[in-house]
Amino acid sequence: MTTPRLNIIHLPNDPKFPHREERETSFIKQIQEQGITDYKVWDGIYEKHDPKKGICMSHKRIIQDAKDNNLPCCLIMEDDAVFSAPGAFDYFISQIPEDYDLFMGLIYVGTVKDYRVMNGFSGGVTLYVVHERFYDFVLDLPDSCHIDREMGLNCFDKLYLVCNPEVVFQKGGFSDNTRTKQYYDTYLEGKPMFGR
Calculate ∠ Cα 10-13-19, nearest 5°.
85
pTM: 0.93
pLDDT at 160: 97
CA dihedral (126, 128, 132, 136) in degrees, to 10, reads -30
Residues sharing a CB contact under 8 Å with residue 104, sequence separation 6 or more, in sequence order: 117, 121, 124, 125, 126, 127, 128, 129, 160, 161, 162, 163
pLDDT at 67: 98
**DSSP letter at 133?**
G
Domain covering 6-188 in this structure, CATH number = 3.90.550.10
pLDDT at 116: 95
Q: Provide the CB-side half-sphere exposure for 134 (13 A, CA).
A: 20
Neighbours of 164 (CB within 10 A): 13
Per residue in 104-151, pLDDT (tens digit) is 999 988 889 999 999 888 889 999 999 999 999 999 999 999 999 999
Sheet with 116-117, edge to edge strand ranges: 39-43, 6-10, 73-78, 127-131, 102-104, 160-162, 116-117, 112-113
pLDDT at 178: 64
Which residues face 130 on adjacent strands? 74, 102
Domain residue extents for the chain: 6-188
End-to-end CA distance of the chain: 27
Closest CA to 147 of 2, 9, 4: 9
